[in-house]
Amino acid sequence: NAGVTQTPKFQVLKTGQSMTLQCAQDMNHNSMYWYRQDPGMGLRLIYYSASEGTTDKGEVPNGYNVSRLNKREFSLRLESAAPSQTSVYFCASNGKQGIPWTEAFFGQGTRLTVV
C-alpha cells in the first residue's frame, strides 16, 4: 500500500523555468492538498481539491497552478519559477465518500531549489 506518492523527491530549477510536481494517492480519498513548508513559517496551504474536478486556492496560491487530473492524481505546476519558491512541498489526501474527515496522509515531500 503506497499511500501518497510524490515525484520528484529533489529538483533544482533555474529562475524562470517551469516544472510540474506530481502527486498520486491510492486510498480512494476525495480531498487532496498541496502545502509548502519553510523554516519558521510552518506548513502553508497552496491549493486544495475537495473532490475530483474541483480546486480552490489556499493561503499562498500566487505563482502556482494545479490540476486534479482524476481522483488519484493532483499536480502542482510552477510556470515561471522564482527563488522565493525554494521550499519543501508536501502533498496530502484525506476523506472518503460519506466520511469527509478521515485520517490525513502525507507524501514524503519534494525539496525544490530555485537558483
Partner 1 sequence: KQEVTQIPAALSVPEGENLVLNCSFTDSAIYNLQWFRQDPGKGLTSLLLIQSSQREQTSGRLNASLDKSSGRSTLYIAASQPGDSATYLCVTGANSKLTFGKGITLSVRP
Nearest approach in angstroms of CB 42 to partner 1 is 4
The one among 50, 65, 67, 86 contacting partner 1 by CB under 8 A: 50
Nearest approach in angstroms of CB 80 to partner 1 is 27
Give the strand pairing for 110-114 and 10-13: parallel
The one among 21, 25, 47, 48 contacting partner 1 by CB under 8 A: 48
Q: What share of the chain is helix, strand, coil (3-state, %, to 5)?
A: 5, 55, 45
Q: Which is nearer to partner 1, 59 or 79 (CB)?
A: 59
Q: Of the ranges 20-28, 68-76, 77-85, 89-97, which one interacts with partner 1 (CB under 8 A)?
A: 89-97
3-state secondary structure of 19: strand
Q: Which residues contact 4 (CB under 8 A, 6 or more apart)?
A: 23, 24, 25, 27, 91, 92, 93, 105, 106, 107
Cell numbers representing residue 30 in the block: 476525495
Q: Any idea what DSSP says for residue 79?
A: S
Nearest approach in angstroms of CB 98 to partner 1 is 13
- The yes or no reply on residue 107 touching partner 1 (CB under 8 A) is yes
Q: Would you tell me which residues interact with partner 1 (CB under 8 A)?
A: 31, 33, 35, 40-43, 45, 48, 50, 56, 58, 90, 92, 94, 100-101, 103-109
